[in-house]
Amino acid sequence: MDMDFKQLATAIKAIAEEKNLPEETVQEVVEQALAAAYRRDYGDREQDIRVSMNLNTGEVDAFVTKEVVERIGDGDYEISLTDAQVMKKNAVIGDMIELHEKVEAFGRVAAQTAKQVILQRLREAEREIVMEEYEDKIGTVINAVVSRVEGNICRIDLGKAQGIMPRSEQIQGERYYPGQRLKVFLKDVERGFRGPQLVVSRGNKEFIEWLFRGEVPEMESGAVEIKGIAREAGVRSKIAVASNVPGVDPVGTFVGGHGTRVNAVVSEVGEQEKIDIIVWSDDTIEYITNALSPTRVTKVTLDEKNKKARVLVPEDQLSIAIGKSGQNVRLASKLSGYEIDIEADQLSAPVDTTPEAPVASAAQASTSTANTTAAESAKPKVPPKLKKKSELENSLLDAIEQHGE
């Protein structure tokens, strides 16, 4: 099986177009493979050989580098001074001379070797181009399509390359299916045995920040900025924002009119994820208080050395401060950088009136008696019932007797 150089030249152009690789890169790969094939058929495997190919005519030229010596010991690597001066008049001993050889064909084994080298080098060249293109996009959000889902790993089609989204980088509760279009954050490009591996994410906090960048143009001008983000993807996020321009409300800017801006971000990450936007403060106590929003905080005590904070809240606010499964206090801790301990403030708790009950009952009884008396006096008086005649006489006699005594 001899190699047809004319067809090979045509194939180079087709491969370059199909793989979206520069034609010069593909040509260089093929020339390296042909050099390996030439060593196998016409020289030694350690020889310094360069091959040049004309893509228009398909002609292949080989250039064998040999050292100029006074007496030839190995004809594959050395050339005599006399022969060297025929090619180069001022050649001297020790010079390296390139000898031109016209290549007409390769044998079957050499052609097979060239094919294997070409395929291997093309894959390497393709990977390197992917690396160069996507390394500049690390840390940005790009559009992608889900190609397939394999267990906990979601494979993403990024156009010229494939990426993976591990379970740890996915949004909790979000379901993916082939053909689904979504936005992903290019987290990293890892070099592996099988080439570059693009790692994408939808569950990291940088993804949220980039989504807000697309909705809040004031971030580009520097009027407002995101100071910190704590996120549990698919559940809840807390975002600390600040204004660099007097009179600009940072929270209102990120929320947008009628909540349009924050709702646009929520629609991308999923309605199940709640987003709290709070005001950042360089005062730690105020910042922790804001981070625990919507909780009403009574007092914050800091332990700067151990990065701990003791927070007192009204007893009826305790469950709100902690949040479902400790979610609110956990995110507030991440956002502030302090380990937060929530305690109920007994002084601000509702007063227990149980010991006072008898007093309260007595007071209620007095009030009740007074009310009863007043009510009775307010009733119309009923005339006393008339007594019988015999009863009147007896009572009169009794009165006379008592008066006499």
d(CA 43, CA 49): 9
Residue 231's SS3 state is strand
Write the DSSP symbol of residue 21.
Answer: -
Q: 283-351 belongs to which homologous superfamily? A: K homology (KH) domain (3.30.300.20)
Where does residue 247 fall: left (phi above 0), alpha (psi -120 to 50 degrees), or beta otherwise? left
Residues facing 302 on adjacent strands: 309
Write the DSSP symbol of residue 177.
Answer: -
Residue 380's SS3 state is coil
Residue among 303, 274, 275, 273 nearest 288 (CA): 303
- How do the pLDDT tens digits run along the chain, 405 residues long? 455 677 777 777 787 777 777 788 878 888 888 888 888 777 777 788 888 888 777 788 888 888 888 888 887 788 888 888 888 888 888 888 888 888 777 777 777 777 777 777 777 777 777 777 788 888 999 999 999 999 889 999 988 788 899 999 999 989 999 999 999 999 988 766 666 678 999 999 999 999 999 999 999 999 999 999 999 999 999 999 999 999 999 999 999 999 999 999 999 999 999 999 999 999 999 999 999 999 999 999 999 999 999 999 999 999 999 998 899 999 999 999 999 999 998 775 444 433 333 333 323 333 333 343 334 444 444 444 545 555 655 665 565 555 554
8 A C-beta contact, residue 250 and residue 279: yes
CATH topology of domain 5-132: N Utilization Substance Protein A; Chain:P; domain 4 (3.30.1480)
Return the CATH number of the domain spanning residue range 137-201.
2.40.50.140
Position 117 scores a pLDDT of 76
Burial of 273-306, coded b for 16+ CB within 10 Å and e otherwise, reads bebbbbbbbeebbebbbbbbbebebbebeeeeee
d(CA 238, CA 376): 65
Q: 204-280 belongs to which homologous superfamily? A: K homology (KH) domain (3.30.300.20)
Residues facing 101 on adjacent strands: 62
* Helix residue spans in 270-388 (DSSP H): 284-291, 318-322, 327-336, 357-378
Amino acid present at 5: F
Position 1 scores a pLDDT of 42
Residue spans of beta strands (DSSP E) within 81-201:
96-103, 141-150, 153-157, 162-165, 181-192, 195-201
pTM, two decimals, is 0.62
Q: Contacts from 211-217 at CB under 8 Å and sequence distance 24+?
A: 211/141, 211/183, 211/264, 211/265, 211/268, 211/269, 212/239, 212/254, 212/261, 212/265, 214/141, 215/256, 215/261, 215/262, 215/264, 215/265, 216/253, 216/254, 216/256, 216/261
8 A C-beta contact, residue 222 and residue 242: no
Where does residue 159 fall: left (phi above 0), alpha (psi -120 to 50 degrees), or beta otherwise? left
d(CA 197, CA 191): 6
Residue among 382, 228, 200 nearest 291 (CA): 228
Q: Do domains 204-280 and 283-351 have the same CATH topology?
A: yes
d(CA 356, CA 235): 46
d(CA 74, CA 46): 12
Cα R_g (the chain), whole angstroms: 46
| Cα–Cα–Cα angle for 370, 372, 378, rounded to 5 degrees | 105
What residue segments make up the domains of the chain, in order of their start? 5-132, 137-201, 204-280, 283-351
